[in-house]
């Protein structure tokens, strides 16, 4: 596809993702899609994320083909040496954003630092607090970009009602399997353990993380529109529920697949905050089709050494080949120094390939990969759906508990091992998905992959919704 000629009179959109891998990755895809549609884009990231992104990826070169695209950075208010690990420092990161970055962002917007001709802001749904609704200093429409799916978003939006009805707090482990029958559209589906991880708080009314996340989700429904990385054939009924709160919704996912359609070829994601180890692709080339389980828990999950060992034993004991992306900070207190345990050395050498950070989209579309053991992050889920690979879900936090419940019980795309972490379960589920129930899961995965593909191809729902989004942004700029 020829790159578009962007005029200075074209609409100008500011994008600002939350500073985590999954959000930055998918927001850059949205930025690329907007740029391909001759929209001028200013992409704001924190200085810290920008440093990591430009160190480990070719993102600057990739966007240099759009002369009207610009990166801008802003401080998150934390010292350079701060580790910024989401799993450990979330309250600190949020507080710094509220007290430091929010007023700075407002000043920079008002002073025209990002351009004096902004058509609209597209803010990450997580960071919708960055702008006060109704602030008269700048009258630019604000769209929310929701990088979570509709099912988890709707569950989060339902939390205040669950608290009001006395369904929360969860009173203990014995209540975890209680079914919640009063989340509209999810009747008889969600158990307490399937609610977003933060709903396990002992005192929901006073839990700062729960209160922050729920208020961000409610607030983002008040913006001018919601852009969401999902597709109607996957989450149509739940999207209808969200439309009762926020009528203007553009469901335009899976975004990475829509980008491939618009570029007319499969493009590799270059938006990595860690160095990608491509050696695993050559390893995969030497494996039989469908014989490998790919294992990755995303960019935020952390686990203890016990869990690491249970997964490791389970994978080796399963007798299947495995490719495992062990991110440097995955295991608490290890900081990247993970040694293969002596008793697993032989099995790992025979059947395993370990990398720090994998080229995930490429890995998932490799014919050697038969299934994905995942933490059920939304990007990973969509990437696996597009690649037609069944999943085993070990959810960790945020939206992942809801995603994994939908994946196993609604979409029937795999198994949910939520809250279990023992070697027997790991080995059994790997074999159930890859051998014993392979046909059943492969069939539903292929069907869903075909629906995903249809949605992003010309005439499909996401394709058309994206065109509407572009048209509406153009109208705003006139
Ligand atoms: N990812 C990757 N290589 C890895 C692990 C993850 O490229 O080894 C990418 C993955 O393709 C996805 C993102 O990192 O786009 C993770 O996002 P997700 O929403 O799945 O989970 P999060 O990291 O936000 O928990």
**Torsion angle of C-alpha atoms 362, 366, 370, 374, degrees rounded to 10:** -10
Task: Note the pLDDT of residue 216.
Answer: 92
**pLDDT-based confidence at residue 4 (cuts at 50, 70, 90):** low
Q: Which residues line ligand 1 (CB under 6 A)?
A: 20-22, 25, 272, 296, 298-300, 325, 357-358, 360-361, 377-380, 383
Eight-state DSSP code of residue 436: I
DSSP characters for 178-215?
-B---STT-TTT-BGGGS-GGGG-S-GGG-HHHHHHHH
CA of 375 to the centre of ligand 1 (A): 10
DSSP-based three-state secondary structure for 334: coil
**Angle 27-32-35 from CA coordinates, rounded to 5°:** 125
pLDDT tens by residue, 366-398? 999 999 999 999 999 999 999 999 999 999 888
Question: Closest Cα partner for 476 from 209, 86, 139?
Answer: 139
Question: Closest Cα partner for 452 from 386, 391, 390?
Answer: 386
* Cα 386 versus chain centre, distance: 14
Catalytic residue among 124, 194, 207, 432: 124
Joined together, the tokens standing for residue 52 give: 């990591």
Q: How far apart are alpha carbons 88 and 77 in whole angstroms?
A: 17
ipTM of the complex: 0.99
Q: How far apart are alpha carbons 365 and 369 in whole angstroms?
A: 7
Q: Is the pLDDT of residue 282 over 90?
A: yes
Q: Is the pLDDT of residue 430 over 70?
A: yes
Task: Note the pLDDT of residue 272.
Answer: 65
Query: In this structure, are residues 52 and 19 in contact, taking their beta carbons and an 8 Å threshold?
Result: no
Task: Note the pLDDT of residue 201.
Answer: 93
Identify which of 360, 395, 404 to mutate to test ligand 1's pocket (most ligand atoms within 8 A of the CB): 360
DSSP-based three-state secondary structure for 236: helix
Q: How far apart are alpha carbons 323 and 178 in whole angstroms?
A: 36
**Torsion angle of C-alpha atoms 205, 207, 208, 213, degrees rounded to 10:** -70
**pLDDT-based confidence at residue 449 (cuts at 50, 70, 90):** very high
The pTM of this model reads: 0.95
Task: Note the pLDDT of residue 213.
Answer: 92
pLDDT tens by residue, 199-256? 999 999 999 999 999 999 999 999 999 999 999 999 999 999 999 999 999 999 999 9
Identify which of 284, 299, 387 to mutate to test ligand 1's pocket (most ligand atoms within 8 A of the CB): 299
Q: How far apart are alpha carbons 326 and 331 in whole angstroms?
A: 8
Q: Which residue has the higher pLDDT, 264 or 336?
A: 264
CA of 226 to the centre of ligand 1 (A): 23
**pLDDT-based confidence at residue 270 (cuts at 50, 70, 90):** low
Q: What percentage of residues in the chain have a pLDDT greater than 90?
A: 81
Task: Note the pLDDT of residue 343.
Answer: 94
CA of 371 to the centre of ligand 1 (A): 16
Q: How far apart are alpha carbons 407 and 466 in whole angstroms?
A: 25
CA of 63 to the centre of ligand 1 (A): 21
Location of structure tokens 């992306």: 325
Q: Is the pLDDT of residue 420 over 60?
A: yes
Q: How far apart are alpha carbons 247 and 228 in whole angstroms?
A: 13
Eight-state DSSP code of residue 63: H
Task: Note the pLDDT of residue 1.
Answer: 54
Task: Note the pLDDT of residue 441.
Answer: 98
Task: Note the pLDDT of residue 41.
Answer: 98
Identify which of 27, 153, 269, 380 to mutate to test ligand 1's pocket (most ligand atoms within 8 A of the CB): 380
CA of 374 to the centre of ligand 1 (A): 10
Q: How far apart are alpha carbons 50 and 440 in whole angstroms?
A: 43
Give catalytic status of residue 50 as yes or no.
no
Question: Closest Cα partner for 10 from 61, 59, 69?
Answer: 69
DSSP characters for 32-46?
HHHHHTT-EEEEEEE
Q: Give the DSSP H/E element, type plus range, for residue 71.
A: strand 70-74
Average pLDDT over residues 432-442: 98
Catalytic residue among 12, 23, 366, 375: 23
Eight-state DSSP code of residue 396: -
Q: What percentage of residues in the chain have a pLDDT greater than 70?
A: 97
Q: How far apart are alpha carbons 60 and 108 in whole angstroms?
A: 23
Q: Is the pLDDT of residue 338 over 90?
A: no
pLDDT tens by residue, 47-100? 999 998 888 778 888 899 999 999 999 999 999 988 888 777 888 999 999 999
């Amino acid at each position: 596809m020829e790159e578009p000629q962007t005029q200075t009179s074209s609409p100008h959109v500011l994008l600002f993702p939350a500073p985590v891998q999954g959000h930055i990755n998918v927001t850059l895809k949205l930025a690329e899609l907007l740029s391909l549609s001759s929209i001028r884009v200013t992409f704001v990231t924190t200085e810290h994320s920008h440093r990591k992104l430009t160190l480990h990826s070719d993102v600057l070169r990739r966007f240099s083909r759009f002369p009207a695209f610009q990166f801008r950075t802003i401080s998150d208010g934390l010292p350079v040496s701060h580790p910024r690990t989401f799993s450990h420092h979330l309250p600190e990161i949020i507080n710094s954003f509220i007290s430091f970055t929010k007023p700075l962002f407002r000043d920079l917007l008002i002073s025209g630092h990002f351009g004096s001709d902004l058509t609209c802001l597209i803010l990450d749904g997580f960071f919708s607090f960055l702008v006060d609704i109704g602030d008269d200093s700048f009258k630019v429409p604000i769209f929310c970009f929701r990088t979570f799916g509709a099912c988890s978003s709707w569950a989060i939006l339902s939390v205040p009602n669950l608290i009001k009805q006395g369904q929360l707090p969860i009173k203990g482990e014995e209540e975890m399997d209680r079914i919640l029958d009063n989340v509209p559209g999810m009747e008889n589906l969600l158990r307490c353990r399937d609610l977003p991880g933060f709903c396990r708080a002992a005192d929901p009314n006073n839990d700062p993380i729960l209160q922050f996340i729920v208020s961000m989700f409610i607030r983002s429904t008040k913006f001018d529109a919601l852009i969401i990385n999902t597709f109607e054939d996957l989450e149509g009924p739940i999207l209808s529920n969200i439309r009762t709160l926020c009528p203007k919704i553009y469901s335009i996912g899976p975004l990475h697949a829509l980008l491939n359609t618009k570029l007319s070829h499969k493009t590799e994601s270059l938006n990595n905050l860690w160095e990608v180890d491509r050696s695993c692709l050559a390893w995969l080339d030497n494996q039989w089709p469908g014989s490998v389980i790919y294992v990755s828990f995303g960019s935020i999950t952390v686990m203890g050494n016990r869990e690491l060992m249970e997964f490791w034993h389970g994978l080796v004991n399963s007798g299947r080949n495995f490719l495992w992306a062990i991110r440097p900070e995955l295991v608490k207190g290890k900081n990247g120094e993970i040694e293969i345990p002596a008793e697993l050395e032989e099995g790992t050498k025979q059947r395993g390939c370990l990398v720090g950070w994998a080229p995930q989209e490429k890995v998932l579309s490799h014919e050697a990969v038969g299934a994905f053991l995942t933490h059920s992050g939304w990007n990973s889920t969509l990437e696996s759906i597009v690649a037609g690979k069944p999943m085993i879900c070990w959810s960790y936090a945020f939206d992942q508990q809801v995603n994994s419940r939908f994946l196993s019980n609604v979409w029937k795309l795999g198994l949910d091992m939520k809250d279990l972490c023992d070697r027997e379960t790991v080995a059994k589920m790997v074999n159930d998905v890859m051998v014993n129930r392979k046909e059943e899961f492969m069939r539903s995965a292929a069907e869903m992959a075909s629906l995903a593909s249809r949605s992003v191809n010309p005439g499909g729902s996401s394709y058309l919704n994206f065109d509407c989004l572009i048209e509406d942004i153009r109208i705003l700029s006139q």
